[in-house]
Amino acid sequence: MNASYPAILETCKRHADRLQWAKSALAKHFPLSAEGMSQLSDQEIAILDQFSTRFAKLQDAMGAKLFPAVLELTKEPENLPTFIDKLNRLEQIGAIQSVENWLILREMRNEFSHDYPDNPALQSAILNKAFALADNLLATLNHVESFAKRYQS
């Protein structure tokens, strides 16, 4: 078994747990509106920050560390030259359900890298999209974990 896979999975699960907690804590506010954004308490804004940070960190950790660890665990070729080649291979072996789905999650993570403090309508639209995609990200992690269990001794 790949020695780093369990540690990487544990990191991903920690991000996932905190993402799920933030999502649950914020559920009553969704869908958000620009007006709704202005009515959030400082604590609720901190939870929104936790939500967006954990979404981005989980997506990053999965793409940069978990996926390569799964390819290594399954003894897949290591000479896949590009990230899209790795994603295609992960889809082919059943580790992820869809390359297209993963690219949507990656795009969402990229949207978090832009800050729009003076545009609450845009902020709320991005957060609404992420809130809808969070379950998809969590389900992808669960799917990868279930897939990888077959290769662990």
Q: For residue range 94-147, list pLDDT tens digits in order.
A: 999 999 999 999 999 999 888 777 888 999 999 999 999 999 999 999 999 999
Rounded Cα gap, residues 6 and 18, in angstroms: 18
Q: Are 66 and 8 in contact (CB under 8 A)?
A: yes
Task: Give pLDDT tens digits for 1-51.
Answer: 455 999 999 999 999 999 999 999 999 999 999 999 999 999 999 999 999
Report yes or no: 76 and 94 within 8 Å, Cβ to Cβ: no
Length of the chain: 153
How many helices (DSSP H) and strands (DSSP E) are in the chain? 7, 0
Q: Enumerate the domain spans of the chain.
A: 4-149
Residue 88 CB-density burial (10 A; 0-12 exposed, 13-18 middle, 19+ buried): middle
CA angle 15, 19, 21 (to 5 degrees): 120
Tokens of 126: 């991005």
CATH class of the domain defined by 4-149: mainly alpha
Please give the model's pTM, rounded to 2 decimal places: 0.93
